[in-house]
Amino acid sequence: MPKHRLLIAGDALTAEEGRLYGPNPAFTPDMDEAMRSVRKLLDFDIETVVCYHGGACRGDIRKQLERIVSSMA
C-alpha cells in the first residue's frame, strides 16, 4: 500500500518484539529466491511492515531490511 507506506509481507518476513527478521528457513523451500524478494523491498519507501508471524513493525524499516539482506548473504 504505497500511499500509506505499508507493506503486508505475509511470510516473506517475520517479526519478533517489533523487529524484522528474514523468512523462516524451516518453512521456505527456496531461500535464495526468498532473499532475492527481500532485496527487492529495499526499492520501496516503507514505514510499516505487517508480517503473518509476529505482527507489525515500525521504525527504520530500510535499516532492518539491509540487516536481513546482509546477514543472509
Annotate 8-50 with three-state secondary structure: EEECCCEEECCEEECCCHHHCCCHHHHHHHHHHHHHCCCCEEE
Q: Is the pLDDT of residue 49 over 90?
A: yes
> In this predicted model, what pLDDT tens digit does every residue of 21-44 receive, in sequence order?
999 998 899 999 999 999 999 999
Residue 6 phi/psi, 5-degree rounding, is -115, 130
Residue 70 in 3-state DSSP? Answer: helix
- Bridge partners (DSSP) of residue 57 are 49
Strand order in the sheet with 48-51: 6-10, 48-51, 55-58
Give the pTM. 0.88
Reported confidence tier of residue 72, pLDDT bands at 50, 70, 90? confident
